[in-house]
Amino acid sequence: MALKITNECINCDVCEPVCPNTAIFQGEEIFEINPDRCTECVGHFDVPQCVEVCPVDCIPVDSDHIETSSQLMEKYKKLQKMT
């Protein structure tokens, strides 16, 4: 599953630099997550780093992008080949 940033985001900019897949970017009003790049940190860390550092708890699972752990690992492997 990819994660998403909700409207509770305060634009503090702590999530973007900790994302190992560069999935987080500044949107028009708040930070956003590109679901094609988000692996919930699978392959890098045990827990999503953006969720760990978010001071307002505004990064839930994106129910529009449901993926299994194995699918996230495959996405991670594809992203690694691109870098």
Cα angle: 29, vertex 51, 63; to 5 degrees = 75
- The token duo for 5 is 């940033």
- Complete domains list, the chain, with CATH: 16-82 (3.30.70.20)
pLDDT tens over the chain, length 83 residues: 799 999 999 999 999 999 999 999 999 999 999 999 999 999 999 999 999 999 999 999 999 999 999 999 999 999 999 76
Q: How far is 51 from 53, CA to CA, in rounded Å?
A: 6
Query: What is the dihedral sign for C-alpha 40, 43, 47, 53?
Result: negative
| pLDDT (0 to 100) of residue 1 | 76
Dihedral sign, Cα of residue 82, residue 62, residue 11, residue 18? negative
pLDDT of res. 83: 62
